[in-house]
Amino acid sequence: MADVCCKLQQLEKSQLINDKMLTKKKNDGLDDCDRCGEMILVENFVIDSEGNEVSEASKMTNLTGVKTETNLPNQSEVVLCQDLNGRFDGDGSAPVCDYTCHNDGHSGEVSQLSAIVSDGISGLNADPAAITRENDMTLEDMYNARYNFDEDDDDSDWEPSEKQTEVLKWFCVNCTMVNVEDVSNCEICGEHRESGILRHGFFASPYLPVEDVNQEELPVTENSEDSCKESFLSSSTAVGFDERMLLHAEVVMKSHPHPERPDRLRAIAASLATAGIFPGKCYPIPAREITKEELQMVHSVENIEAVDITRRMLASYFTPDTYANEHSACAARLAAGLCADLASAIYSGRVKNGFALVRPPGHHAGVKQAMGFCLHNNAAIAASAAEAAGAKKVLIVDWDVHHGNGTQEIFERSKSVLYISLHRHEDGRFYPGTGAADEVGSMGAEGYCVNIPWNRGGVGDKDYIFAFEQVVLPIALDFNPDFTIISAGFDAARGDPLGCCDVTPAGYASMTQMLSALSGGKLLVILEGGYNLRSISSSATAVIKVLLGESHVIDIDNTVPSKSGLRSVLDVLKIQMNFWPTLETNFTKLHLKWGSYAFQDTRKQSKKRRRTGVPIWWRCGRKSLLYRILSKQLRAKSCCNYSCRC
């Protein structure tokens, strides 16, 4: 045993195995090295003809715990024979190993190493084992031998508990929000993934698939041609719609569907059809593409050509959010043509009022640029058509949650068109950032642009109706328009993913009812935004019912606004009363009301301070009490100590 240890020390000094000492540890047939940690598994023992034990060993590595091959032809280390079945000579000389060394430069070292191991085995006389060793491989050696490694063994030490699975997603047909595959209802709006909203509109249940819709719960409609013809002849409401506008769509979907999508029109049309309104009770206006000359009354040649050239492109973008395909130019011209024809028909008296069920929307499109999902400004084109038909004064009320910056730009120098917009502004942080209360028009048309900016989201019916009563109607009555246009964006409706406000179908119906009393009832409603299909379809249906005269009168007396809404209305009145003197009375009344609110807030804050603040007498009393107690204790202790000394 001592001879073996000396030979192992001599082997270490010669650095034939790169400072790796082999020590024999017989433990269930396992040998390991104290330095490198590699283990030698003694698989079996063979007794040769001369009575000597010869072991067959295979190397195990601590990293993988599996057997590895030792005869790698591209490695530069010294490799011992894995199968030591050589015969010992009678004089105890070293056995002859049957192996081929793959590195001729180390042939002498291998012979010396084999002799040392054989002498150690013969001297131990107990369980000899042939040990296979190899030096540490360099990165270059590993790269050269990369084709000789078993791919299954390379990652054998990494066994994940479960395989990676792809999370499937689906987009809500109602609000376009993304949901995981294992849920059947949208986590945002609650709409079923197979909802029948595109077939039955908002009448379809949001919680059931289209196959489970109870047909008995849907409105009963008359589909006979005779009833339709009679309704057309006696109708006072016209609707403009063309299926070719559905071809305007984003070609390549990005992270989620674009909110301005063809399903918006499909949902409204399905609601009107299910309710028997259109077709049935409304007169259809035939669609036509507006001419270039009519467009030039509103837009520059630059805008017209930029939209027209998209006919030759499969997909294009005016801005990152304003897309176009090969059908978009036609859809935009159809929408503008329907709005122009509806305005002419209403002003001339052929129909009393109308609803333009069109897309793409238009109130963001300015004189030169297309933006905000809008290509041509439909409301501005309708106002121009009404003026061409003889209207002297046109009122445009825009209740879309976004400011109609394009419409304001087109008419900011005109006194014949009064533009009033109610929108989220939040000090310019809400898209598009324009529409502050001090934007009143220019070039002698000051006061003909009225902006009512909301300073927060969540604005509901009470704030909108309050603004109508205090600002919109007084100015509109003073203006006395010949024709009224509503840029009816329904993205301020409850549940809209972009507007995040709280206006209900009843609120939209109330505002429509108030505006229908202007200009002799000559009212055109043009669809703008709105991206929750259930909200937009129910709101549009409520508005059309008002146009048909079927909606009940809604009581809007004693409307109490929110504090934020009152503050916004006061800011508008303070500015606009310089141009509309009729607003001074409302401003004085509301200013006093705001003063009472401010006084109440001051009292609440003072009470809160008194509740949370620590009274002075308590702090002084506490200190005084502690001082007295501690003083008595000190006196008593000092007296006790003095008496003890005595």
Q: Which residues are catalytic?
A: 364
Cβ contacts of 415 within 8 Å, gap of 6 or more: 444, 445, 448
Tell me the C-alpha distance between 192 and 210, whole Å.
9
Tell me the C-alpha distance between 471 and 478, whole Å.
11
Q: How many CB atoms lie within 10 A of CB 536?
A: 30
Determine the number of helices (DSSP H) and then strands (DSSP E) in the chain: 19, 15
The SS3 call for residue 32 is strand
Tell me the C-alpha distance between 340 and 582, whole Å.
33
Residue type, 399: W
Task: Decide: 399 and 393 in contact? Cβ < 8 Å.
Answer: no
Nearest-10 crossing angle of helices 263-274, 533-548: 50
Q: Which of 408, 363, 559 is nearest to 469 (CA)?
A: 559
Paired residues of 470 in beta bridges: none
- 3-state SS of 383-418 is HHHHHHHCCCCEEEEECCCCCCHHHHHHHCCCCCEE
Task: Decide: 235 and 307 in contact? Cβ < 8 Å.
Answer: no
Half-sphere exposure of 350 (CA within 13 A, CB side): 16
Sheet harboring 417-424: ordered strands across? 283-285, 237-240, 353-356, 523-527, 483-488, 394-398, 417-424, 449-454
Task: Decide: 329 and 376 in contact? Cβ < 8 Å.
Answer: no
Tell me the C-alpha distance between 117 and 313, whole Å.
81
Paired residues of 547 in beta bridges: none
Tell me the C-alpha distance between 565 and 471, whole Å.
12
Specify the pairing of strand 315-319 against strand 322-325: antiparallel
Residue type, 380: A
